[in-house]
Amino acid sequence: MSDSPQGGNLLHEERRFPPSPEFQSQAIAKPELYQAATKNRLGFWADQARGLLHWHTPFTQTLDWSNPPFARWFADGALNVSYNCLDRHVEAGLGDRVALHFEGEPGDSRAITYAELTTEVKKAANMLIAHGVKAGDRIILYMPLVPEAVIAMLAVARLGAIHSVVFGGFSAESLRARIDDADATVVITADGGNRKGSVFALKPAVDQALADGKTNVRSVIVVKRGGNDVEWNAGLDFWWHDEIAKHSDEHTAEGFEAENPLFILYTSGTTGKPKGILHTSGGYLTQAAFTHKNIFDLHPETDVYWCTADVGWITGHSYVVYGPLANGATQVIYEGTPDTPHPGRWWEIIEKYRVSLFYTAPTAIRTFMKLGREIPQKFDLSSLRVLGSVGEPINPEAWMWYRDVIGGGKTPVVDTWWQTETGAIMISALPGITAAKPGSAQVPMPGITLDVVSEDGVPVGPDGSGLLVITEPWPSMLRGIWGDPERYKETYWSKFGDRYFAGDGAHLDADGDVWLLGRVDDVMNVSGHRLSTMEIESAIVAHPMAAEAAVVGAADETTGQAVVAFVILKSRFVGTLSDEEVSQQIRAWVGEQIGAIAKPRTVFVVGELPKTRSGKIMRRLLRDIAEGREIGDTTTLTDTTVVRTINTAVND
Ligand code: PRX
């Protein structure tokens, strides 16, 4: 097998990898799961909710779908999410089990048991109460991946309040937009975190976001991590360690109704404004715990699990915090980047903690493929039992490399498809049951029903391609877009009425396995992170030099897609700077407006943009150009010379 990152014929893979008899015999998930879910879908989910979670008040009703598309699951039951992730494990005698093995980028580490984590969360909950936090309040977290981020999420959840984690790579502007949209009262942040061998500051962005004093934020609680100097606003800023020290570790978790909101997580849509995806408690936790346990074949007494996602993304919510902790897992969290201080850092961590279940993104796998197998082969990876992939399609070549080089040629690989909106995994193989097919996410999870349909909503059937829809409500589905029920209906439910439109293209093969084909809307997927073309375009045109802009996601060998921007300058700026200087300014500007993750990989300064006669930018054509393809039919262009101009810019 070659180490080339892309390759393999996506739709005509013949290889199949059935589970080994040894794996199968010890696997948690048995084929009966599928039968039970098919026989009585709602009864199946009710059993999962009862079996996996502790209910302060048992529920009697499973699903209320009387007001679609607003679902209510287990609605007359009450639970406490934090209690489910912590106290009950301690009460069951598991207090000494390690919950988190924290590995800092500089090499510091901390093991935190379930008893210790419970104590810390209780203290943090008392601290938040002292800062006026009550059920329903919105708390913004803007933090590095340190234990305090997990503690803060669980403390907010414990009080029935709502957290909204903003990824540390977003700018002050983006942070402010989220603070305003959620109308947050408290921000929890850190002085800074460690990344790529240096400290990146977080607190200054919070200061900048709050500088005009026009938000309802009344406390900023700051974890000391980076050790960098920070400015201090007396009366507003509080050190986490000073505050925590004032509070008792006694706190009794109260039950909240199952539909009590748990978190808002902003994600990019097809407009310039990010959507606040709202998730609630009982259904979300049920599906997060169910999928985590069965897909990773979690044996909590012996396994060590590691998901490399940041808590700023949905994967970090469902598969770093809520799923694993609800299941009493022992897991690793790592603050830094994979290549610091050396390119084998991840594999070293797997060796150090004897990680057995590992969950990461295809971009990372393709990056390691490029670096060569010699690096992981220096480490003992024999503890690995299950490998997971998420965030973007994994090409068969990368899938095979993952299994062979990281998994020693024996470890099942599960490709898991889901979204911020779905809350938990929807499509995946089950490692003890499914014969794995490299490159395909394969089958819906038990209890999930989906289809692939044409533009008119007609099922395409085996060997057909179309749009992915989810045909029945599921427990961890989003409950809406914060403050915008109309946008919720419009975005996901208007296209096919009673079926959820995911925004992904998909192919069903002759066996009925699902192959994901990428987004069909103006959402890009860069390294498994979602970015909106419109949002980046709006940011670029706000630059004083830019007259017009078009942004496309161009195929990229490593990151799946890359942001490519075409920019027309206002006439008075034309010729004043070199293209390279313009490009640098635009990239820096997008970094300030949205965040470093949204910076275009390439900026082309062009004279015009190709448009249809009705004035729509021809993005497909721009994508062709950005990817270096021959451009097709341009007869609908208003001015065919535009294409030539652009092509010249690209080829220069
Ligand atoms: O296009 C799909 C892609 O990521 C999108 C969801 O992005 P986000 O909400 O940021 O969540 C990412 C982590 C769950 C989807 O619409 N996607 C996610 N997983 C896969 C995938 N595409 C192909 N295969 C996957 N396994």
Are residues 140 and 255 part of one domain?
Answer: yes
pLDDT of the residue at 614 = 80
pLDDT of the residue at 573 = 93
Beta bridge partners of 72: 64
Q: Ligand 1 pocket: which residues have CB below 6 Å?
A: 267, 314-315, 390-393, 415-420, 441, 502-504, 516, 519, 525, 528, 530
Q: For ligand 1, what atom is nearest to the CA of residue 502?
A: 16
CATH of the domain at 59: 3.40.50.12780
Per-residue pLDDT of 452-468, as tens digits, reads 999 999 999 999 999 99
Per-residue pLDDT of 246-273, as tens digits, reads 999 999 999 999 999 999 999 988 777 8
Checking if the pLDDT of 11 tops 50, the result is no
Question: Does 522 reside within a domain?
Answer: no
Question: Does 513 reside within a domain?
Answer: no
Q: Which domain holds residue 211?
A: 19-506
Which whole number is the average pLDDT over 535-550?
Answer: 93
Distance from chain centroid for Cα 508: 25
**Which residue among 477, 506, 535 closes a domain?**
506
Cα–Cα dist 176/172, whole Å: 6
Question: Does 9 reside within a domain?
Answer: no
Q: How far is the CA of 69 from the centre of ligand 1 (A)?
A: 22
Question: Does 1 reside within a domain?
Answer: no
- Per DSSP, 154 falls in state H
Which whole number is the average pLDDT over 538-547?
Answer: 94
- Per DSSP, 420 falls in state T
Checking if the pLDDT of 242 tops 90, the result is yes
Are residues 234 and 267 part of one domain?
Answer: yes
Instruction: Please answer whether residues 353 and 332 qualify as being in contact, where contact means their C-beta atoms are separated by less than 8 angstroms.
Output: yes
Each as own residue / partner, the long-range contacts of residues 252-255 (CB below 8 Å, 24 or more positions apart, any chain) are 253/80, 253/82, 253/83, 253/87, 253/158, 254/56, 254/80, 254/160, 255/55, 255/56, 255/57, 255/78, 255/79, 255/80
Instruction: Please answer whether residues 139 and 156 qualify as being in contact, where contact means their C-beta atoms are separated by less than 8 angstroms.
Output: yes
Are residues 362 and 217 part of one domain?
Answer: yes
**Which residue among 462, 477, 506 closes a domain?**
506
Are residues 542 and 475 part of one domain?
Answer: no
Considering Cα of 627, then 632, then 638, then 644, what sign does the dihedral take?
positive
Cα–Cα dist 394/596, whole Å: 24
Kind of pairing between the strands at 480-481 and 275-280: antiparallel
Q: Grade residue 12 by pLDDT with cuts at 50, 70 and 90.
A: very low
3-state SS, residue 35: helix
Cα–Cα dist 323/293, whole Å: 8
> pTM for this structure?
0.93
**Which residue among 454, 472, 506 closes a domain?**
506
Checking if the pLDDT of 6 tops 60, the result is no
Choose among 260, 123, 126, 237: nearest CA to 187.
237
Are residues 542 and 496 part of one domain?
Answer: no
Number of domain units in the chain: 2
Are residues 463 and 600 part of one domain?
Answer: no
Question: Does 71 reside within a domain?
Answer: yes
Are residues 532 and 499 part of one domain?
Answer: no
Question: Does 604 reside within a domain?
Answer: yes
Q: How far is the CA of 392 from the centre of ligand 1 (A)?
A: 5
- Range picked from 54-63, 521-530, 618-627 for highest mean pLDDT: 54-63
Token pair 């407009």 in the structure block, residue: 271
Are residues 432 and 338 part of one domain?
Answer: yes
Checking if the pLDDT of 2 tops 60, the result is no
Instruction: Please answer whether residues 226 and 201 qualify as being in contact, where contact means their C-beta atoms are separated by less than 8 angstroms.
Output: yes
Are residues 328 and 299 part of one domain?
Answer: yes
Angle between helix axes 147-158 and 114-130 (nearest 10 degrees) is 60
Are residues 281 and 363 part of one domain?
Answer: yes
Q: Which of 279, 390, 529 to mutate for ligand 1's pocket (most ligand atoms within 8 Å of CB)?
A: 390
Choose among 422, 352, 431: nearest CA to 391.
422
Are residues 548 and 417 part of one domain?
Answer: no
Question: Does 57 reside within a domain?
Answer: yes
Average pLDDT score over the chain: 94
CA distance readout (Å), 284 to 63, 155, 263 = 13, 17, 10
Per-residue pLDDT of 176-225, as tens digits, reads 999 999 999 999 999 999 999 999 999 999 999 999 999 999 999 999 99
Are residues 359 and 500 part of one domain?
Answer: yes
Q: Grade residue 508 by pLDDT with cuts at 50, 70 and 90.
A: very high
Q: Which of 265, 308, 504 to mutate for ligand 1's pocket (most ligand atoms within 8 Å of CB)?
A: 504
